Structure 1
Amino acid sequence: MPLKAKNMELVKPEEKLKKLSPETLNRDINQDDLDAFSLITCLALSPDQVKRVCTPLEVFPEQKSVLAVHWHPEYVPMDLIRQRIESTFPQKKQELIIPTQHNQLMSYDGRYSGVEVDCYSRGFKRKVQLLLHFKSDKLEQANTLKSMLEHTFEYRSGQLFQLMETITDPKWEDYVQLAVEGTGVSDAVVEFARIQTWKLMTLLKENESPASKEIIKNRLIKDFIDAQRHLYPENFINKVQVFIKSIKKIVKANFNLTYFYRTSEVIEEARGIGAGIIVPHPEQFWPILLCEYDIDGYEVWNPQSQEYTEFLVNVINRQNRARGTGRKRLLLFMGDDTHLSEKIKDSISIEASKYYRDIGVQPAWDDLSIRKSLIIGNFSREKMIEEYKSRLEG
C-alpha cells in the first residue's frame, strides 16, 4: 500500500541538535522516515513540479534546428517534456529529438527510439557507454537486444544494493574507513549514515509496490537523507552526503564490470536491427577513439565534457579524411545530457551541474573558438539532423 507523505513542518535549531544526541537518535523507523520514503518513491508530480518541468530556464527564439539525441526523461511524462521543448524553441522548423534513458528503450515522438547502454570494453578494461537510436518500428525484431538491456539494467541497479551493503555490513569496514580518511568525517556522521541506510534498505524490502524500477538508483540514499534535511542541522547533513558520495565512488571503482555485455556484442546486435550508434563523452575513456568500432559518430561536447571539444572535432576531421570515399563519414554530435528529474527538485535538493542543462541547448555549435573546425568538417546541427535521419531511415 503506497505511503502518504505529510507536509514538512519547520523544526527549531535546538530541536535539530537534540535529534542527533546518542540518547535521542532514533534507530527505529518512524513517521519521518515513512514520509521521506514516500516522497522519494512517489512518481506523481505536484502542480508546482509540473510547472517547473514545463517552464524552460531560457528561451531560444532564433534557433530553428533542434538536435537532441542524448538526454534522460527519467520518470517525467513525455507530454510535459514536449511542452518544455516547444517553449524553449518556439520557432523551430527542424528537429531530431530522441531520449536515451539508461538501459531502457524510450521514444519521444513514436517515430524514433533510443537508449544509453552500459557495456564493457575488454581491450582496455573499462565500462563504456553507447547511445543507440532506432526507427521505432524496427524494434519489433529486437527481442535479443531487449533482453540484453534488461540484464544490464538489473545489474546496474544492483550498485544501489551493493552501496547500501557496504555502508551497513561490518565486512566492508575497510571501504568505510577509506571514505572516513578521505573525508575526515566524525563517527557520528558514519553512524547516522548507517542508520539511515539501514532504514532505507528495510523500507525498500517492505514496500516494493511504490518503489518502481525508475527510482532504484545509487542516488536513492542521497535523496532519502535530503528528504529529511529539514529535521537536522544543515552542516551535519552536508557532511553525511560527502561521506555517502565518497563511499559511492569506492563501490563504483570496485564494481565487477565483466557482467556487462561487451561493447562489440552490443554494437553487433544493434547494427543487426538498423541502429544508429554514437559514443558519448569519449574523453572519459580515450582508447575508444582508437578501437575502430562500427559506429556513426562521436559526441564532442556535453555539459560535463567540454575541455577537449575542439581537439575531438579535429580528430574526427582527420579520421574522415583518412577514410576516403568508400566509407560513410563519422558524424559529430553535442549531447546536452539533460536529466529531467532535476527539474522537479526544490532549490535545496538540486544538483547544480545537472539542473542547468536543457534538452537541445548545446552552445558549442555556435562557439567561435571551434567554429572553424566545424566548418572544415562540414558539421552543423542542420547537416547532422539530415544525415543521421537518413541513416536511421535506411
Structure 2
Amino acid sequence: MNTKHVSLKELKVTPEITDEDRAIFASVISVKLADWQIKQIVTPSQICHRQEKILAVHWHPEFVPMNLISKRIETMFPNMEDELLIPTQHNELMSYGPYTGVEVDCYASGFNQKVQLLLHFENKKVENAHVLKSMLAHTFKYRTSQLFEFMDSITRPDEKKVHEAARETGADKELVELVKIYVTKIKTMLDENWADVPKASVKNKLIKNYFDALRPKFGNTVINRIQSYLKAIKSLVKTDFSLKFFYRATEIIEETRSLGGCVVIPHPEEFWPILLAKYDVDGIEVWNPQSQRYTDFLISVVNEQNINRNSGNKEILIFMGDDCHMSEKTKPIETQDPAKAAREIGLQPAWNDLNIRKKLIIAGINRQSVINEYRARLAG
C-alpha cells in the first residue's frame, strides 16, 4: 500500500478515538509480560560457552524484572566464573546484586552540549543519597518532557519541524496528516489515562512502538515511511531541546564522589569534547554497538593519559558497553530493531578482536583486570 495514491478516507482513519486505538495504546504502554514475552526474555540469542568473565556496566533493564534478566545471563554464559554486572537505567537508580547504577543526562557547559555519564555504586552507598535521587528525579521528569515536545512538533499546524522533516524524508501531505491524526490520538489517550500510565512508558519510543503496532493495518511500506519521518522530527526536537535545565556534568560527578561512587564516560564517539574536559572519571567506554569506529584510537588515548598521569592519580580504566535495552526482547520478532535486538548484556566482541586485543595486551588490560580494579574502587 502506498499513501501517495490512497486517501485518508480509503485508509479509514478518522480523528475519533476508536476501540482499536485504545487497545493498541493499552498494549504499547503495558509493562505486564505475556508468556511469549517471558520466553523471549529468558532465551538469549546465543550461548557463549567459552566466555568465563562477564563485565557489563552499561545496560538498561527498563521494565523487565531482574530475575528474568538473571536467567538470560546464566543461560547465555553457562561457564561464568566471575562477573561485575551493574544496570544503568536512564536517570533512574536500579540495582542488580550488590551494585546500583544509572546513566544520567547532564550538561557540559564548557562546550554547550548534552552528555551522559554512567554512575556506579555499592548498594549501601545510595541508601540515603537524597540529593542525588532528587537530581535524578528532576532530570528524569525533564527528559520525559521531550516526548511532549515531540508530539507538539507533529500536531501543531504550520510547525517548522514538520515541513523540514517532510522535505528531508519525502513525506507527502497525506502521510503527514495521517501521522498528525494518530499522534493527536496518542496525546489525548496519554492525558486521559495519565494516572495509570507506567512512567517507564513515557518516552519517545512510545510513538515508534504505537506505529509499529499499526503494521498489520497499513503494511510495512507505509509504516517504514512513517518511522523515517518520525525519526527526522525527533532528531530536530533533540537538537532544539534546551540544555539549561540539566545539571552540569561537574555537579553530577561531585555528588557521585561524595557518596563514594564511580564514574564512566559512555558513547565517547558521540561526545568527543568530553575527553578533553579532564573530568574526574574512573573509565572511558572505548567500544559500544553504536560507537565502534574509533576503538583503537580511544585505547591509545587512554593509554597515553595513563602513561602521562601525575603521580598519585589513578589510572583511567577501559570499558566496553553492550548498551543492551531489554525492552527490545519483549517485542514481536517482526517489529524488533535487528541491531538493537542483537545486543546482549555482557556481549562485547571487541574484547576478542585480534587487533584490539593486541593493544589491550600491551596495556596489560583484560576483562578480569578491569573487574578486579573497578570492584576495588567501588568498595573504596
Query: Structure 2-normalised TM-score?
Result: 0.97
Match of 1:3 in 2: none
- The answer to whether residue 345 in structure 2 is matched with residue 362 in structure 1 is no
Compute the displacement of 1:209 (Å). Answer: 3.8
Contact in 1 for aligned 2:214/2:223 (Cα 8 Å): no
Match of 2:109 in 1: 122
Helix, strand or coil: the match of 2:345?
coil
Match of 1:162 in 2: 149
With over 3 angstroms needed to count, the CA separation of the structure-2 counterparts of 1:23 and 1:324, relative to structure 1, is closer
Match of 1:108 in 2: 96
Aligned-partner Cα distance in 2 for 1:218–1:24: 26
Aligned-partner Cα distance in 1 for 2:132–2:182: 37
The amino acid that maps onto 2:379 is E
Q: Any idea what the Cα deviations from partners look like across 1:310-369, whole Å, max 9, x if unmatched?
A: 100010000000014411111010000000000111122111221100000011111101
- The answer to whether residue 32 in structure 2 is matched with residue 67 in structure 1 is no
How many residues were matched structurally? Answer: 378
Match of 2:331 in 1: 345
Aligned-partner Cα distance in 2 for 1:60–1:264: 39
Match of 2:370 in 1: 384
My pick for the range that moved more, 353-362 or 18-27, is: 18-27
Aligned-partner Cα distance in 2 for 1:239–1:363: 33
Match of 2:178 in 1: 192
Compute the displacement of 1:19 (Å). Answer: 8.3
- The answer to whether residue 16 in structure 2 is matched with residue 28 in structure 1 is yes
Aligned-partner Cα distance in 1 for 2:12–2:28: 25
Compute the displacement of 1:376 (Å). Answer: 1.7
Contact in 1 for aligned 2:263/2:283 (Cα 8 Å): yes
Match of 2:134 in 1: 147
Contact in 1 for aligned 2:54/2:83 (Cα 8 Å): yes
Match of 1:177 in 2: 163
Match of 1:336 in 2: 322
The amino acid that maps onto 1:216 is V
- The answer to whether residue 76 in structure 2 is matched with residue 50 in structure 1 is no
With over 3 angstroms needed to count, the CA separation of the structure-2 counterparts of 1:392 and 1:356, relative to structure 1, is same
Aligned-partner Cα distance in 1 for 2:12–2:55: 54
Task: Pick the aligned partner of 2:285 from 290, 295, 299.
Answer: 299
Match of 1:77 in 2: 65
Aligned-partner Cα distance in 1 for 2:6–2:361: 63
Helix, strand or coil: the match of 1:91?
coil
Match of 1:314 in 2: 300
With over 3 angstroms needed to count, the CA separation of the structure-2 counterparts of 1:312 and 1:209, relative to structure 1, is same
Match of 2:78 in 1: 90
My pick for the range that moved more, 340-349 or 73-82, is: 340-349
Aligned-partner Cα distance in 2 for 1:352–1:216: 23
Cα RMSD (Å): 1.5
- The answer to whether residue 239 in structure 2 is matched with residue 253 in structure 1 is yes
Helix, strand or coil: the match of 1:130?
strand
Q: Any idea what the Cα deviations from partners look like across 1:292-327, whole Å, max 9, x if unmatched?
A: 111101000011110100100010000000014411
Helix, strand or coil: the match of 1:332?
strand
Match of 1:212 in 2: 198
Aligned-partner Cα distance in 2 for 1:219–1:339: 12
Contact in 1 for aligned 2:42/2:69 (Cα 8 Å): yes
The amino acid that maps onto 2:24 is A
The amino acid that maps onto 2:90 is H
Contact in 1 for aligned 2:60/2:90 (Cα 8 Å): yes
Q: Any idea what the Cα deviations from partners look like across 1:43-66, whole Å, max 9, x if unmatched?
A: 111111000000000111111110
Match of 1:9 in 2: none
Match of 2:122 in 1: 135
The amino acid that maps onto 2:250 is S
Aligned-partner Cα distance in 2 for 1:34–1:179: 28
Unaligned regions of 5+ residues in structure 1, if any?
Answer: 1-12
Q: Any idea what the Cα deviations from partners look like across 1:71-116, whole Å, max 9, x if unmatched?
A: 000000110000000001001110000000000000111x110000
Compute the displacement of 1:219 (Å). Answer: 1.1
Aligned-partner Cα distance in 1 for 2:273–2:7: 50
Mapping of residues 229-308 of structure 1, within 5 Å: 229-308=215-294
Helix, strand or coil: the match of 1:131?
strand
Percent of aligned pairs with the same amino acid: 49
Query: Which aligned runs of 4 or more in structure 1 are off by greater than 3 angstroms?
Result: 17-20
Contact in 1 for aligned 2:30/2:198 (Cα 8 Å): no
Aligned-partner Cα distance in 2 for 1:105–1:222: 25
Contact in 2 for aligned 1:66/1:92 (Cα 8 Å): yes
Query: Structure 1-normalised TM-score?
Result: 0.93
Compute the displacement of 1:233 (Å). Answer: 3.3
Aligned-partner Cα distance in 2 for 1:259–1:81: 33
Compute the displacement of 1:18 (Å). Answer: 7.6
